[in-house]
Amino acid sequence: MPFGVYVHIPFCATRCDYCDFATWTDRETLIDAYVDACVADLRRHVVAGTAAPATSVFFGGGTPSLLPSDRLVAILDEIPRSTDAEVTVECNPDSVDADKLAAYRAAGVTRVSFGVQSMRPRVLAALGRTHDPANVTRAVALALDVGFPTFNLDLIYGTPGETVDDWRTTLAETLELEPPHVSAYALTVEPATQLGRNVAAGAPAPDDDDQAEKYEIADELLAAAGLGWYEVSNWARAGHECRHNLLHWSSGDYLPIGCAAHGHRVGHRWWNVRTPERYIAMVEAGDDPTGGGEDLDDATRAEEQLTLAIRTRTGAILPTSMQAEATRLVDAGFLVRAEDRVVLTRRGRLLATDITARLLVAAGAEQELRRSIAGTRYD
């Protein structure tokens, strides 16, 4: 069965204005202790039998490539893996070189994901990003030189002040690098970020119509370049889809390693303590670093599975209670039927959350009607 391991690396050189992840820019002195804690936590799971051989491993953050390569490899070496496991490392184009990428590849890393966001310096500045777009080209060339079989380029669209021409330039320069996988996300405003504070103080917020137009441009250009959508925000050439992400979207099981990392196993979801200091201290003391968890009932699991599945190219199988609403959404051009499933159209992908809500509301209304009828007495 597919099984994943997610390793959270919480260290960054700088904090992007839009980032609300559990990351810190002033904790590099903790790196060695943190890596040792991740290794010890992994060994605890292996001994307990809770770490099945992983079919996918994902180092996210934060900036995993900020670690010395031998430190990242020390964690990877402790993870039991299948012989064909996909291993992804998120990288900042500024913090990789030939030696680091070669060390990753030799240790079994099969995929790197470069945070590009934009190819326009003024858009990067608006996001609080510090890398030089030229470093993206350099990083991709280095990854190919050391033999990575696949890589991803991560983009963000809809930054206030980003024009349509800016976005087209970013897409064109991205496609010149011939990526086998591209992720493109609409910029969102989280209140506790610098971007959120700026917007609260009166700075422009992302515009929904602008983001919708840019999504359609991305889908058109990426498809024309041979990258098909397989999830609302992800496009890939055949065979280059991210297996770890597919595991999440199919509600599979995965183990969390590191502070703030989340895990899931057969309807039980849990997460580790948020800060690196607490994670290190708890592991060193021999304690379980879990910070909280929840058991999902059948209805919640079904709702989450629908929410995730409908965002994918495979689509979702709907219960009878949703079929009438699905037909209305098909007639309106938001869904298409594919055998026993429904799949979002491009227009539907722009409103994926709303469409899911409509289906869930329709199912709830029918269930409520059935309960009402079942409780009615006819004298």
Q: What is the pLDDT of residues 40-81, one digit of tens each?
A: 999 999 999 999 999 999 999 999 999 999 999 999 999 999
Residues 307 and 158 in one domain: no
Last residue of a domain, one of 209, 225, 248: 248
> Looking at the chain, how many residues does it have?
379
Q: Is residue 171 part of a domain?
A: yes
Q: Per-residue pLDDT tens, the chain, 379 aa: give them.
A: 899 999 999 999 999 999 999 999 999 999 999 999 999 999 999 999 999 999 999 999 999 999 999 999 999 999 999 999 999 999 999 999 999 999 999 999 999 999 999 999 999 999 999 888 999 999 999 999 999 999 999 999 999 999 999 999 999 999 999 999 999 999 999 999 999 999 999 999 999 999 999 999 999 999 999 999 999 999 999 999 999 999 999 999 999 999 999 999 999 999 999 999 999 999 999 999 999 999 999 999 999 999 999 999 999 999 999 999 999 999 999 999 999 999 999 999 999 999 999 999 999 865 654 554 444 433 3
Does 307 share its domain with 239? no
Residue 217's alpha-carbon distances to 23, 214, 221, 300, 352, in angstroms, are 32, 5, 6, 35, 17
- Spatial contact of 259 and 71, defined as CB atoms under 8 Å apart: no
pLDDT for position 379:
30
Spell out the residues 6+ positions from residue 149 whose beta carbon is closer than 8 angstroms to its own: 110, 111
Q: Which two three-digit tokens encode residue 179?
A: 């990526």
Residues 6+ apart with CB under 8 A from 259: 8, 10, 22, 34, 272, 273, 274, 275, 276, 278, 279, 289
Among 189, 221, 248, give the residue marking a domain's end: 248
End-to-end CA distance of the chain: 55
Q: Are residues 316 and 199 in the same domain?
A: no
User: Do 356 and 214 share a structural domain?
Assistant: no
Burial of 128 (0-12, 13-18, 19+ CB in 10 A): middle
Whether 329 and 348 have beta carbons less than 8 Å apart is answered as yes
303 lies in the same domain as 243: no
CATH of the domain at 365: 1.10.10
For 372, counting Cβ atoms within 10 Å of its Cβ (0-12 exposed, 13-18 middle, 19+ buried), the class is exposed
pLDDT in tens, 158-178: 999 999 999 999 999 999 999
Residue 258 lies in a domain: no
User: Is there a domain that residue 285 lies in?
Assistant: no
Same domain flag for 76 and 216: yes
- Same domain, yes or no, for 70 and 194? yes
User: Where do the H-state alpha helices sit in the chain?
Assistant: 31-48, 69-76, 98-107, 121-127, 133-145, 164-176, 194-200, 208-224, 243-249, 276-284, 298-309, 320-331, 346-349, 352-374
Q: Does 136 lie in the same domain as 25?
A: yes
| Judgement on whether residues 156 and 226 belong to the same structural domain of the protein | yes
Claim to verify: residue 188 and residue 316 sit in the same structural domain: no
- Could you tell me if residue 38 is inside a domain? yes
Q: Are 66 and 137 in the same domain?
A: yes
b/e per residue 329-355 (b: at least 16 CB within 10 A): beeeebbeeeeebbbbeeebbbebeeb
- 233 is written with which tokens? 């925000």
Q: What is the pLDDT of residue 131?
A: 81
Q: At what angle do helices 98-107 and 133-145 cross, to 10 degrees?
A: 40
**Closest C-alpha to 6, from 301, 232, 240, 247:** 247
Residues 6+ apart with CB under 8 A from 364: none
Residue 236 and residue 327 in one domain: no
In a domain, 283, yes or no: no
Domain limits for position 106: 3-248
Q: Tell me, what's the pLDDT at 371?
A: 53
Q: Is residue 292 part of a domain?
A: no
Q: Is position 303 within any domain?
A: yes
CATH of the domain at 133: 3.20.20.70
Query: In the chain, how many domains are there?
Result: 2
Cα gap 157→129, rounded to integer Å: 14
Residue after which a domain boundary falls, among 231, 248, 265 = 248
In a domain, 264, yes or no: no
